[in-house]
Structure formats: C-alpha cells, structure tokens
A and B are shown apart, each in its own frame.
Chain A
C-alpha cells in the first residue's frame, strides 16, 4: 500500500461535502442467450442510462455468460404490486414491455409487448393475455422507449480465461493439496459445507 494511504489522519467533526441526492434506481435484466427472455438480475444506482449500463455490465454481466442487458429506471415501472402503482393518465399510444413474476418472491421475466395509452391500460391489456391469475403473482409494464439496452453485437461476457474468479477454477487443485494433509473421509465431511456456484 502506498505510504500516503497509510498516513491518512482521521478527521473528526462535520464533513466538508454537503449531503447529496441519491442517484436514480435501476432494475437490471440480463439475457443469457439470443432470443431468450430477459431475466431480473437485481438493482443498482446510477446517474443516467449510460452509467447504469456500464455498472450493470460489470456487476451483473460478469456473473454468467450473457448476451444482452436491459436497465430500467425504477420510476418507469408500473405494476400490479403496491410498490409500483400504475398511472391512469391517458397519453399517446406507445409500446409497453410486459414482465411476469411467476410466484411471490421470484424475479420478473420479460414477456410480450402491448400497445396502450397509459400504464394502467397496458396492465389491463397484459392481464387479458395472462388470464389465469394462478399462473403468475404480479405483472410489470415499462414503456419500451425508457428501457436502456446494450446493442445486439456488444460483447458483455469476457471470453478470456476467468477461472481465477470462480470457485471451480480452484476446486480440483485445492482438493489435491488437501490430500497431503487429510484423509478422504474428513475432507468429504469438511467439503459438505462448501457453497456451490449456481447462477
């Protein structure tokens, strides 16, 4: 570590920087293969769409091979759940992307698009397609033009050797090294507590 960072003195009292507004919340969806739906990956905070996509590529795009990312501002989401109330204000006709949540607590998955004049109307349209409420828990709709997306040819996943950042990049070698110290029985018992990577 640089000596400079070692020698930082703790300043106490009020901060010099004034309090700041938070950045915008975004919901991130990743597409694992071309032609497949976009799956809920998680949330992040960013100043704008470009920053959201940059963060999303690094944070959610490197967990598993993926070909596309959508970043949706949280405020653009309307849904059947209480957290995202849908506006009834009638405007121009536009395309809405529908997302389906199969069961309580599950992540939303992209489905079809519908044309509507308001978020509430888009939800009604989506409900006419998904008529069996036992098949899903909640629906989201997002105006399609508000979804920031990576381009079709963008390389998100890095195809260089990344075994250094995966447990399976170590497992075999670690097991071999352990056998010099422990018998198979106690090693198996010990490895029972291991977590598996299962994205």
Chain B
C-alpha cells in the first residue's frame, strides 16, 4: 500500500557538485535512462532517494498494523486468508524497500530504530483508527486505490532499483484493490446496517485519502529537484485530481454520500455535512471537491494524530521483544527467550 513517499522529502538544491557530472546525470534522466546504484549521482539525489525509499518502507510495515488487527476478526475464512496474504504482502514490500534504502547507504537496523524513536516518518494515513470491518474494506479500496495511482507514476521514475521494486509491488497491489472493491461492494449490496457501516467508514477515510497525495504543490513543483530528477513524475495535486475523478463518481453510484467531517482526537467523526462542492465541472471535465483540512494533516504529521503513539508503541514493543530472536538467529541456537 502506502506510497506517497513525497511527503517530507526535501532535497537540498544548493548544488556543489561537479557541473560536468551533474549535466551528464541530468542528460541521462532527460533521456529516460534509469539511474543505477553504482552510477554517479548528486549527494542530494542519493539523500532524497534514501528518504523517499525509507519513508515508503516505513509506511509499508506500519500500514500492516491497522489491518493486522482485523485478521482474527475477519467475517469469513476467505476474507481471513485474503487479509493475511495482504498483510504478508505489505511486510514483504517493506523488506524490498528497506533493501533499496540499504544500498543507498543506511543500515536496516538504523532505519528500524529511527522509525520507532520517531526520527523518521511513515505515511500519515496510518495514524487513523480502523474501528470496524468496513474500515478494512475502505482502506483497501480508497487507500490502496490511491497508492496504486501514486505508485504507477513512481514506476515511471528514474532510479532503477526503486522503479523495479515499484513494478513488482504494483502487481501485488492489484489483488489488494480488487479484494477491497469486493468488500465495499458486498457491504453496499447488503443490509441497511452494512450500508451504514460502510458509510461511516467512508466518512472516516475520505479525508485521509485526499491527503494521501501530500499537501498542495508549490507553484514551481515541476522545476524542483524531486520532479526535475524524476524521483516523482506527477504533482501531488494532479494525482489527487486523478483520484477524485475516479472515486467520486464510483462512490456516488454506489450510494455513498461524500461529507465534510470534523473528528475528535481519537479520529472518530463528531459532525458531518454534505460536501456541497461535489460536482462535475463540465468545462474542465474534472470533479470538484472540498479540500481536506491541511491543519489536521500537519498536526498528524507532527505526531499528534489519533494513533501515532499506538503505532509506534507496538513497533517499539516488537523490536524490543524480538531482540532475543534476532540474537538467536545471528549467534546460533544458544540464546533462549527471556523468562516471562
């Protein structure tokens, strides 16, 4: 899932690199060539790609936490198998992306430690709760749907190892999205109680889905290094527009209502009103919508979202409790688990 690794990637564009090498690097990128790990690259590019791949890897493994909570409570054996497989996929994506990051110069252990001590970030949307089964359905439909839109464009990027990983990840995302659609369609074809449950989950996830692509772009986004170096290929706002053009009409046809909501500190909706901006603009051919609450976005990024502490606490517990396992693996079978 995840993606939107652009959040928080700030590349220092003060370049002190050799102009000839830099020109050749830019030429390769403009010619559509892939940059490989052993190619010369500007220090700022290496740093930016590392931040991007690391953020993406972090998001994959933290993203598995809200979904993992629901494996034991899945409503049927098939759903349980599918959710287990999806969570396994996400953790696998994390493994692949940590590998890409390691090759850019940071150890995996350092990345895991930075994640759980809050030095690095993961995707904001995983700081929201998934209190109902319908949330799992909406995550797989909306958030994985958003991730696919983003990752399809990231697979057109310039950094070879990341691009190849993205292509592989996208193939697995196809299943995540289809099973998500199936769950949403099942709920919306069901009883009033099921439809209400889906609507409530949709109300919780619509905002985070819009925020998924990151904050509004700076006017010169296309000239800044992340796009000039094809670390990303489409602006946040363009991706968001593609997303709403696909999902607004689909949601409306399903009978879902799109609301502007306010939430409490636990991420639960406290009030809602119809988003009266929702309309197809016949002139542009694009759907219009109310922008999400960007104050909330930045508040959550700074660590003050509904589930930030909960996600990190669980990651930290796993890391500390898993120490003897890692030691046993590294040192042979001599190490025993700590007494309970």
Identify the A interface with B (CB < 8 A).
1, 5-6, 8-11, 14-17, 19-23, 25, 42-45, 47, 51, 58-59, 63, 81-83, 104-105, 107, 164-167, 169-171, 173-174, 177-178, 180-182, 186, 190, 193-199
Residues of A contacting B335 with CB < 8 Å?
none
Contact at B177–A63, with CB atoms within 8 Å?
A: no
Instruction: Report the nearest A residue to B70, measured CB to CB.
Output: A1
Complex CA gap A5/B172 in Å reads 28
Asked if B279 is at the interface (CB within 8 A of a chain A CB), the reply is no
Q: How far apart are A49's CB and chain B's nearest CB, in angstroms?
A: 13
Known: A11-B316, A20-B330, A22-B107. 11 other contacts (CB 8 A): A8-B310, A9-B313, A16-B320, A19-B110, A42-B99, A45-B98, A47-B329, A63-B168, A82-B38, A170-B182, A182-B253
Contact at B316–A104, with CB atoms within 8 Å?
A: no
Q: How far apart are B47's CB and chain A's nearest CB, in angstroms?
A: 19
Q: How far apart are B297's CB and chain A's nearest CB, in angstroms?
A: 21
Q: How far apart are B135's CB and chain A's nearest CB, in angstroms?
A: 13
Which segment of B185-193, B214-222, B259-267, B288-296 sits at the interface? B185-193
Q: How far apart are A141's CB and chain B's nearest CB, in angstroms?
A: 17
Complex CA gap A42/B171 in Å reads 14
Residues of A contacting B186 with CB < 8 Å?
177
In chain B, residues 106-155, which have Cβ atoms closer than 8 Å to a Cβ of chain A?
Answer: 107-110, 113, 116-117, 148-149, 152
Contact at A17–B320, with CB atoms within 8 Å?
A: yes
Q: What are the interface flags for B152-189 relative to A under an 8 Å C-beta threshold, 1 for contact and 0 otherwise?
A: 10000000100111001011111101110110011011
Residues of A contacting B82 with CB < 8 Å?
164-165
Given contacts A8-B313, A193-B246, contact A164 B117 (CB under 8 A): no
Q: How far apart are B56's CB and chain A's nearest CB, in angstroms?
A: 15
Contact at B116–A181, with CB atoms within 8 Å?
A: no
Q: How far apart are B269's CB and chain A's nearest CB, in angstroms?
A: 21
Instruction: Report the nearest B residue to A182, measured CB to CB.
Output: B253
Contact at A197–B316, with CB atoms within 8 Å?
A: no
Q: What are the interface flags for B301-340 relative to A under an 8 Å C-beta threshold, 1 for contact and 0 otherwise?
A: 0000000011011101101100100100110000000000
Given contacts A43-B99, A177-B189, contact A193 B109 (CB under 8 A): no
Main secondary structure of the interface of A (DSSP, over half): loop
Contact at A42–B329, with CB atoms within 8 Å?
A: no
Central interface residue in B109, B177, B181, by most chain A CB within 10 Å: B181
Instruction: Report the nearest A residue to B77, measured CB to CB.
Output: A164
Given contacts A45-B99, A104-B36, contact A15 B92 (CB under 8 A): no
Residues of A contacting B108 with CB < 8 Å?
22-23, 45
Given contacts A45-B99, A59-B92, A59-B95, contact A165 B81 (CB under 8 A): yes
Contact at A174–B181, with CB atoms within 8 Å?
A: yes
Contact at B181–A170, with CB atoms within 8 Å?
A: yes
Given contacts A22-B109, A164-B81, A164-B82, contact A177 B168 (CB under 8 A): no
Asked if B102 is at the interface (CB within 8 A of a chain A CB), the reply is yes
Asked if B78 is at the interface (CB within 8 A of a chain A CB), the reply is yes
Contact at A19–B113, with CB atoms within 8 Å?
A: yes
